[in-house]
Structure 1
């Protein structure tokens, strides 16, 4: 499609306490529907809570972590949680579980944990980087 853009999305707000993940998902769905590409999603700060497999909202609320996981899987979009933010907030994958000898891991597929290099790479590769902050 002519004039299509590739976006990198950065989410810094947690689900259920901010609208950042919800707004980012609405944007991502609209962008893909319009023929644009989401190059990658990067979670930073409290945004890493979106990648937890332990989120369990009440049955009458939208499960934003699952909604994101389904969208990413359906469209083959990579999503990364910043390792420093993730570790500070108790989000670990199998590698970090073993490294820190923790009793469990809780990273929801298809999210991955990596460093800020993923954000830098995404910012360089995409046409636009859009931030969804959880500010107060």
Structure 2
């Protein structure tokens, strides 16, 4: 089965961990992940600026490692990222900001990427959000 996964919750939220565990289990079960789409507060999972206390799980690091090792498509909604100051080098330059918080393997892109993923997948699985 082909899954598109959308994550709407911040890195410290339980649903972010559940999304990662689901994605890992899906691949281990022989399924395919078409795309991981991070939206709303979920964009913080892609931020290099998140500092996790030593006694907590570093989910942004785990997501980065998982996406890199599995060669997955990790897309961060550009509008949601801009609203939250989660910028890549290009957007930081465009908006004349010093802080860059997103780098590879993440890609900033629009909601069209989520739409395309839904068209290619058998199922869209969403985690978090209100």
Q: Which residue of 1 aligns with 2:97?
A: 102
Q: Is the 8 A contact 1:92 1:107 kept in 2?
A: yes
Q: Deviations over 1:81-121 (max 9, x none)?
A: 11110000010011101111111211043111100010001
TM-score (norm 2): 0.96
Q: Is the 8 A contact 1:19 1:134 kept in 2?
A: no
Larger Rg: 1
Q: Is the 8 A contact 1:14 1:134 kept in 2?
A: no
TM-score (norm 1): 0.92
Structure 2, unmatched stretches of 5+, are none
Q: Deviations over 1:110-135 (max 9, x none)?
A: 11110001000100011111000144
Number of aligned residues:
130
DSSP-derived class of the 1:13 partner: coil
Structure 1, unmatched stretches of 5+, are none
1:25 and 2:23 matched: no
